[in-house]
Amino acid sequence: MIRAERLSKAFDGFWAVRDVSLTVHKGEILALLGPNGAGKTTTVRMLSAILAPTTGEAWVDGYSVREHPQEVRRRVGVLTEHHGLYRRMTVEEYLAFFADVYELPETVKRERIAHWLRFFDLWAFRHRRIGELSKGMRQKVALTRALLHHPRALLLDEPTSAMDPESAYLVRQAVAALRSEERAIILCTHNLVEAESLADRIAVLHRGRVVALGTAEELKRRFLGPKRYRVLLAEDRAEAPPLPPGFRLVARSPRAFEVHPPNGEGDNVHLIRTLVHAGWPVVRVEAVPYTLEQAYLALMKQVHAQEAAQSGQEEPTHG
């Protein structure tokens, strides 16, 4: 549905996006993560055909962003970084204007506006001027604008920013529902919990390049190593625990310790048996939860280290 091949964008010689290749299938959510200035917004703007790629190519629903920008714009729904609403219009007028430009028939227009306004708890505010709404409400109006024409591809830039937890939950529900309607969704976010809970795959951008791409589990495994297990004890133990062959001790405290089993969770049977046999009072063995945030931070640490090493190599040598 959405495909980018070596997509790049330069502004006055500065490469904001470099060689980004990605694919988002129908019914899939891809989260774009990365620090500020990583190139997420530029990538979204190229995919929505308002910025022309400097090199590379992208397609949305089979239409090239270079050759058929109009068709691409017709097929994408974009929630922009800044909601960009007209403050003097009422909610209903605003949405009706966009629906009209998208050539929705009158009944469909009314139905869809009503549906989304009710879904986002905005129905009671439909006659209010947008300037009078709260920040979160405006964000929901902007999201409704992006959904009105039933786009095949959705590009959402920070959809839950500035929202209270309840509204954010509603938006996440809406995004999940849209995925089940076979839409391809790209979600740019700094909220790693949201990315983990919603996205099927995650791409991390740094200085315009994709530095990691995979499912949340894959990224965690890749940047945090194999899963750890924590063993909780009933009483304090000062000595090191007896471990079966292949197990590696990674952390220890008087009442608990953490290990890496050699071949995954199944090996924990040997661990428990060994500990019980040695008289250790095992209360519980549990997987240590890895978060996407940990993986992301580990990745960034790795990227910064690589950059530092590269810049060290590029330093001119004296003498």
In the complex, the residues that contact other proteins under the rule CB under 8 A are: 11, 45, 48, 50-52, 70-71, 73-74, 76, 78, 80-86, 88-89, 93, 97-98, 100-103, 142, 145
Q: Are 83 and 171 in contact (CB under 8 A)?
A: no
Please choose, from the candidates 120, 140, 118, the residue with its C-alpha nearest in 3D space to the C-alpha of residue 130.
Answer: 140
Kind and range of the H or E run holding 24: strand 14-24
The pair of three-digit structure tokens given for residue 276, joined into one six-digit string: 């019980």
CB of 74 to other proteins, least distance (A): 4
CB of 38 to other proteins, least distance (A): 17
- Looking at the Cβ atoms of 84 and 266, the one nearer to other proteins is 84
- Looking at the Cβ atoms of 51 and 210, the one nearer to other proteins is 51
- Looking at the Cβ atoms of 103 and 286, the one nearer to other proteins is 103
- Cα atoms in the Cβ-side hemisphere of radius 13 Å centred on 75: 21
Q: Are 20 and 45 in contact (CB under 8 A)?
A: no
CB of 146 to other proteins, least distance (A): 9
- Looking at the Cβ atoms of 101 and 193, the one nearer to other proteins is 101
- Which pairs with CB-CB distance under 8 Å and at least 24 residues apart come from 300-303? 300/35, 300/206, 302/223, 303/206, 303/211
CB of 109 to other proteins, least distance (A): 12
CB of 3 to other proteins, least distance (A): 20
